[in-house]
A = this chain, B = another copy of it.
Amino acid sequence: DTVVRDEELPVLPPYTTRDKFNSAMAALSRILGASNVEINDKPLKDGWYIEHPNTHDAYHLLPATDSVSSAACYPGSTEEVSAVVKWANQYEIPIFPISIGRNLGYGGAAPRVRGSVVVDLGRRMNKVLKLDGENYSCLVEPGVTYYKLYDEVKKSGLPMWIDPPDLGGGSVIGNTVDRGVGYTLYGDHFANHCGMEVVLPTGEVIRTGMGGLPGPDNTDSPTWQSFQYGFGPYYDGIFTQSNFGIVTKLGMWLMPETEHQTFMVTFPRDDDFGDIVEVIRPLMVKKILGNVPQLRNVIQELAVTGKPRSAFWKGTGRMPREVIREHASKMPCGDCAWVFYGTVYGTKEQIADTLKICKVEFGKIQGAKFIFPEDVPPDHYLHSRVSVCSGVPEIRELDWLNWKPNAGHLFFAPISPTKKEDARTIYEIVLKIHQKYGFDMFPTYCINTREMHYIANLVYDRNDEDEKQRAMACMREMIDECAKVGYGEYRTHILLADQVAQTYSWNNQALMKFHEVLKDTLDPKGILAPGRSGIWPAKYRNQGWEL
């Protein structure tokens, strides 16, 4: 997993010379101290989740040497982030901020523009600045991972939960600015954030929401983590999935600790997912199910055991339905087609009542079967859902990456209304294209009330060039085919952002023109994460950068 490179290192950012770059780096060392600037001139190590690189995408989709940085730097404060931004403007060097850089499946730590300087915020700015047990909120720096926040809350003894995504090693800020999701009642992370501090692409610093109003004696506003909107335009959204600013502080709301009950429901027929979705929607809209539950295809029961595909089948091509069936029938889920993972919250009595309703409703699907944690062995994935859905970070979800050797993966994540017909349309497109490119299909519907994040995990072998190319082609075709019938992605791999952004084409690409007007105003030198979310600064536009 180590790639030795045979070109002059570090690779340069565009529009500069090695001399200019070297003097820029010398200046950066003077600003941050030499120990906080690290040239990327060593072999590239993919490492693994916990020891992930900040030099490139560990799950590379193009050759590992392609999307690489020239260097990383480690600012220690908002003032230093601002200084780095001003430095980048002065030397016109593209910078790419990461909080932790574990955005695996979406591009990892890789900058979109080769040779960018990665601004690794999390390394030194990693404190939980506030934990408010009365108002159930916190204020964090970029390096605070879900694990770290969990630990701090535990240490405080306060009866609060965090809301981790499936893997706990990402940062609260990185996940939230990429509009990630978790699985408790606070699963919509953007909706549950409260207040930002942002360094703008020219180095000014603003605070959003009530943070704009200083507290007495230069303290923070007493209402910064209480009220999201403040007065005047509400800006926070423009600092998510964008390249309009670097978030250096973020407020998040925390969920009050509660009783909870996680359960599985299995459904026997492949064709039933549309009807299952129809059962789920009213339960969600009426907040009977309040969290973000998942509906998964049975193949994932095999995958989350952490065993490789070859342990189930030695054949090539897509794993046949009968093989999946045969193995599933010997597993706790039994011979089924779909598995629902849900959690209900409240007092013991409320939970009992809610489960009663769920049993009636899911019971409308013939053959639906409830399975509880006590019904399955201790190593079953259901126990990891219990953790994640009750605010305990996990990394169990990594296990399905063992499916293939040297696995990397991609998320295809279109949004669908929580309706049978839409679910079916997308499913059929995704199935057809997976068949065409020969990939096993791992669909998970993350159901967020009126919409579902339809998440298809595409697992590929990083050492197999052909498979990587097929993975890319498969993604591209799914994006296009879904867009044709009106479905778009909520988030995507950084290398696919141009294509996805272009599908949001209403009124002759009016939205892209608006992105560009803002980008050119806020970042006139085009230094901040060029190309992120498909937004290119003037300097790069129509120069062949778009993919």
Given the complex of chains A and B, what is the CA–CA distance between A230 and B226 in angstroms? 26
Among the 9-residue stretches A48-56, A208-216, A365-373, A434-442, the one with 4 or more Cβ atoms under 8 Å from chain B is A208-216
Cβ proximity bits A498-525 to B, threshold 8 Å, 1 near / 0 not: 0011011111001101110110011000
Beta-carbon contact of B510 and A204 below 8 Å: yes
Verify if A327 is at the interface (C-beta below 8 Å from B).
no
Identity of the chain B residue whose Cβ is nearest the Cβ of A253 in the assembled complex: B450
Verify if A123 is at the interface (C-beta below 8 Å from B).
no
Identity of the chain B residue whose Cβ is nearest the Cβ of A453 in the assembled complex: B227
Given the complex of chains A and B, what is the CA–CA distance between A415 and B533 in angstroms? 34
Verify if A256 is at the interface (C-beta below 8 Å from B).
yes
CB distance from A71 to the nearest CB of B (A): 27
CB distance from A77 to the nearest CB of B (A): 14
Verify if A492 is at the interface (C-beta below 8 Å from B).
yes
Chain B residues whose C-beta falls within 8 Å of the C-beta of A491 in the assembled complex? 231
Tell which of A221, A222, A258, A485 has the most Cβ of chain B within 10 Å: A222
Given the complex of chains A and B, what is the CA–CA distance between A513 and B229 in angstroms? 18
Given the complex of chains A and B, what is the CA–CA distance between A486 and B230 in angstroms? 12
Tell which of A226, A232, A239, A506 has the most Cβ of chain B within 10 Å: A232
Given the complex of chains A and B, what is the CA–CA distance between A240 and B233 in angstroms? 5
Chain B residues whose C-beta falls within 8 Å of the C-beta of A483 in the assembled complex? 213
> In chain A between 127 and 149, which residues have their CB closer than 8 angstroms to a CB of chain B?
134-137
CB distance from A222 to the nearest CB of B (A): 5
Cβ proximity bits A277-288 to B, threshold 8 Å, 1 near / 0 not: 000011001100
Chain B residues whose C-beta falls within 8 Å of the C-beta of A213 in the assembled complex? 483, 486-488, 503-506
**Known A204-B513, A204-B514, A213-B486: A226·B418 in contact at CB below 8 Å:** yes
Beta-carbon contact of A221 and B486 below 8 Å: yes
Beta-carbon contact of B226 and A232 below 8 Å: no
Beta-carbon contact of A281 and B134 below 8 Å: yes
Cβ proximity bits A168-208 to B, threshold 8 Å, 1 near / 0 not: 00000000000100000000001100100000100011111
CB distance from A476 to the nearest CB of B (A): 16
Identity of the chain B residue whose Cβ is nearest the Cβ of A491 in the assembled complex: B231
Beta-carbon contact of A212 and B505 below 8 Å: yes
Given the complex of chains A and B, what is the CA–CA distance between A46 and B501 in angstroms? 49
CB distance from A210 to the nearest CB of B (A): 6
CB distance from A479 to the nearest CB of B (A): 11
CB distance from A455 to the nearest CB of B (A): 14
Beta-carbon contact of B419 and A216 below 8 Å: no
Verify if A534 is at the interface (C-beta below 8 Å from B).
yes
Identity of the chain B residue whose Cβ is nearest the Cβ of A522 in the assembled complex: B517
Chain B residues whose C-beta falls within 8 Å of the C-beta of A518 in the assembled complex? 233, 518, 521
Tell which of A205, A235, A511 has the most Cβ of chain B within 10 Å: A511
8 A–B contacts, CB within 8 A, in A order: A191-B191, A194-B450, A207-B510, A212-B511, A226-B415, A231-B504, A232-B511, A233-B237
Given contacts A206-B511, A517-B521, 14 further A-B contacts (CB under 8 A): A134-B417, A204-B514, A206-B514, A213-B506, A216-B484, A223-B417, A227-B490, A231-B504, A231-B533, A233-B518, A237-B238, A238-B238, A256-B286, A518-B518
Binding site for B on A (CB under 8 A): 134-137, 179, 190-191, 194, 200, 204-208, 210-216, 219, 221-223, 225-227, 229-242, 244, 253, 256, 258, 281-282, 285-286, 349-350, 353, 415-419, 422, 448, 450-451, 483-492, 500-501, 503-507, 510-511, 513-515, 517-518, 521-522, 533-535
